[in-house]
Amino acid sequence: MTTRIGVVTFPGSLDDRDAQRAVRLAGAEPVALWHGDKDLRGVDGVVLPGGFSYGDYLRCGAISRFSPVMETIITGARDGLPVLGICNGFQILCESHLLPGALTRNDHLHFICRDQRLRIENSATAWTGAYEQGQEIVVPLKNGEGGFVADERTLDMLEAEGRVVARYLELNPNGSRRDIAGITNEAGNVVGLMPHPEHAVEPLTGPTTDGLGFFTSVLKKLVNA
């Protein structure tokens, strides 16, 4: 039976089609989900893509958090549904309190777009099982409000519990505390990542194919569940 991964489209999403393609290349069936529809159509996992949902008005991800589809996703995530939030999707997960902390304006106050080296710090989540712990990868990064922040107690907790999923190497591109590029919830089914693995799944268009592992990981996890 084919694994079905939903990709949500919000007003202002711009990487939803890229995420669908990454899901397809990984071997799953991508299912388009609409922000105004609570029905997840029986999908096995969900990707919240990058972009500027609702124009990033008020605060990045703050309006999307209250969209009808997120009501169902929040409930599902707390029951173990695998959810990956990429860039704007990471912001939505933090606004939804599925992940701690927040994403703020880049410390240099400029939008940044570059191929970014990362180190995978946790290979035990639903979305990182295809990687080795400590593996270094290169995927594109593009954000204007990508700085991960949290109070020291929360940062210490994330470190102690192994919930930092990926860390920036060579250059901290946005001022994220402790070079954090992605985190997971306690259960490991919800992951937020600021860089864009869906743009590194084919040699023709990406700097590498290193990002494909995020999408093959969840397939393996679901098949073995």
Active site residue 196: yes
Q: Which of 60, 121, 196, 199 is catalytic?
A: 196
Q: Which of 35, 145, 198, 199 is catalytic?
A: 198
Active site residue 198: yes
Task: Identify which of 31, 11, 34, 36 has the alpha carbon closest to the alpha carbon of residue 19.
Answer: 31
The C-alpha atoms of residue 18 and residue 215 are separated, in whole angstroms, by 12
The C-alpha atoms of residue 220 and residue 88 are separated, in whole angstroms, by 25
Q: Which of 87, 95, 145, 199 is catalytic?
A: 87
Active site residue 94: no
Q: Which residues are catalytic?
A: 87, 196, 198
